[in-house]
Copies of this chain bind each other. A is one copy, B any other.
Amino acid sequence: MPLRFTYTGIRVRDMKASIRFYTEILRMEIVEPLEATPPTRGQVATLRSRGSSQSLELNWYEPESRFGPAYSNGEELDHLAFECEDVGATVAELERQGIEVVVRPNTIGDWSEAFVKDPNGIWIELIRPSPARLPVL
């Protein structure tokens, strides 16, 4: 029976702040607009980057939802990776916008990378893969 990985759903503390971060700072587009999901007592919106087919779902739950235990930061989600053309310039631009940088631009082999944090503490990797590995879409 076929199974297809179709999207990643992150849980957010503040839907407005996360939509702002992912659309205004990381330039994603809303592909499924924010809607209430009464059965889960929550809200959901789906985003995608221009030129990418990876989907990111933002999930928010009322405190009373069975899906909404107190928000704690754990280790399961290592990072969300975003490609860019110039890691150093991108990090500088994000930093000017007040985004926290957790790992400054550096290289691993022929990759350039850095990490910043989203409003929920999720590590966002900014990468410029080696030309041999492009495209990874």
Nearest-neighbor residue (CB-CB) of A60 within chain B: B78
Count of this chain's copies in the oligomeric assembly: 2
The 5 A-B pairs of least Cβ separation, nearest first, read A74-B74, A77-B77, A11-B78, A9-B78, A8-B8
With A1-B93, A3-B84, A4-B82 already in contact, 12 other A-B pairs whose C-beta atoms are closer than 8 Å: A1-B84, A4-B137, A5-B54, A5-B56, A6-B137, A8-B54, A9-B77, A53-B137, A59-B78, A72-B72, A73-B75, A76-B77
Chain A interface residues (CB < 8 Å from chain B): 1-11, 26-28, 37, 39-40, 47-57, 59, 67, 69-86, 89-90, 93, 108-109, 120-122, 125-127, 136-137
Residues of B within 8 A of A48 (CB): 5
Contact partner of A5 among B49, B74, B93, B120, CB < 8 A? Answer: B49
